[in-house]
Amino acid sequence: MAFENFTVNVVSFPAATGLDWTNSYSQIILTITPNAGYSIDANNFSAINPLPNYVSGVTFTQNGANIDCVIVYTSPSIMPAADVLISLCIQGYASETPIIVIGTTKSGGLTNVSIPAPGDLPASFSGSGEWDSSLTVFTQAVVASTGYYFKTMPVLAISVGSRDDYTITNIRTFDSRKRLIQVVFSVSYKFPVSNVSGNEFVLTANAVEYYDPAEEITGYKFNTGTVVNAGGDTRDFTIYGITGANWALTGDYTPGNISVVNASGVIDGTGKAVISVVFPATTNINRTYNFRLTGDLATSFDTTNGQTSTPSVAQYSQSSLSFGFTTTLAHVTVGTADVRYFLPYTRATTVEYTVTATSSQNITVANNPPPAILWTGQDGGVPPQDYIFDVLSQDFVVNNFASPSTVTANIVVSVLVPGAVDFASVLDLDNVLI
């Protein structure tokens, strides 16, 4: 007789009319058999009261995959003239038989990992479930050792078994520098129609060492070798360092203590920070700009072989270089000196000067033109204050037909470095006129 997902057999036996059949059949056994793909448990079966006539008791006993239903008859039970049909009402159910999967995870090469630890692999896994259902049968973490990271993604792959029955997902963990340091694999199995064993997974993971330098400022680039133009200037102050290092830059000028920069920040992935410093123009005041770099400075700063953390740069106002005559001769009157103005420390240039003098007497120039070295100041002054210049050539022109007589010097001067301090170059006519 078929029920839902199990069957029960029918038992019959002969009995003589008017006799007690329990003398020969005090009990019978019905076999409850599960359908294919199902299982039954004796604890899930029971008889429904009241029991039918002729039955004194019913028990259910597990017999392997089947159940023995033992029906005990009431004694005596006299066989009537007609056949006796005894129908027993029972309650119970069959459960779908779990499908089992069994497998192993092995190492395919693990380098510089803390998990799995040595000896953790191979590891067995198993699981059970109903057909066409899914179950996470195992998870496997792989963690890089301290000071290492996974440059290449670890791999967990099935080497024995049906790939279509498995789904592998992963969760990745990165450190503060976005380096992969951990992967947790999760393996889900979709149960087929029958049990599976001998499946095999292989885990491969190779971590490499990383260098994690201290977060510090390592140096800067800033032009302090050239003075700031009197007309103003803009220069970049570039700070170099390790990502995450803090920095702060301030700067002001004296006299005045006026700020030109006040900035701070953190070195990003470019490894540098660029700050634009604007220098204002000056008219007649020489200035010194003092800067202070602070933050996570490397220990090399402010040492013999390192950079200073307090660089400075100068700015000078316009200065002059003039040429003129001097004399103690009573009959000679010198003219006004010829003056040229320069921005200190600008590029070299060649300039022409014209200097004159008059005399109440005729003028005679000895050795015309006289030696150019007679013009003072060509002895190589001391930068950055002094002018560095050379008189390249000169031509003295005398006019004794005029009244008074005149002498004019046309001078060609090479100004190599304009200085920050005014300078007057003179030629003593006492050494030139006869």
CA distance 393 to 372: 7
DSSP H or E stretch at residue 324: strand 319-326
Instruction: Provide the whole-model pTM.
Output: 0.47
Contact predicate 147/177, CB 8 Å: no
**Phi, psi angle pair for 373, to nearest 5°:** -65, -10
CA distance 413 to 372: 10
Q: Within 13 A of 40's CA, how many CA atoms are on the CB side?
A: 29
Q: Which residues are paired to 253 by β-bridges?
A: 258, 289
Contact predicate 154/124, CB 8 Å: no
Neighbours of 275 (CB within 10 A): 19
pLDDT at residue 2, rounded to an integer:
56
pLDDT digits (tens, 9 = 90+) for 169-213: 999 999 988 999 999 999 999 999 889 999 999 999 999 999 888
Q: Is 373 helix (H, G, I), strand (E, B) or coil?
A: helix
Q: Within 13 A of 158's CA, how many CA atoms are on the CB side?
A: 18
Q: Of all residues in the chain, what percent are helix, strand and coil, respectively (each to 5)?
A: 5, 55, 45
Asked whether the CA dihedral 213, 217, 219, 222 is positive or negative, the reply is positive
Which of 91, 54, 49 is CA-nearest to residue 69?
A: 91
**Phi, psi angle pair for 28, to nearest 5°:** -130, 165
Given a cut of 70, the residues of the chain with pLDDT beneath it are 1-2, 383-384
Q: Which pair of tokens denotes residue 267?
A: 């070195």
CA distance 158 to 99: 20
CA distance 95 to 129: 12
CA distance 422 to 322: 8
Q: Which residues are paired to 290 by β-bridges?
A: 252, 312
CA distance 298 to 305: 12
pLDDT at residue 262, rounded to an integer:
97
pLDDT at residue 166, rounded to an integer:
97
CA distance 242 to 264: 15
CA distance 31 to 317: 117
Residues 6+ apart with CB under 8 A from 297: 216, 217, 309
Q: Which pair of tokens denotes residue 58?
A: 């019913």
pLDDT at residue 131, rounded to an integer:
86
Residue 141 vs residues 120, 148, 171, 319: alpha-carbon distances, Å: 11, 16, 9, 75
CA distance 338 to 374: 17
**Phi, psi angle pair for 192, to nearest 5°:** -80, -160
Asked whether the CA dihedral 375, 376, 382, 385 is positive or negative, the reply is negative
CA distance 400 to 388: 35
Look at strands 319-326 and 423-428 and give their pairing: parallel
pLDDT at residue 378, rounded to an integer:
92
pLDDT at residue 95, rounded to an integer:
86
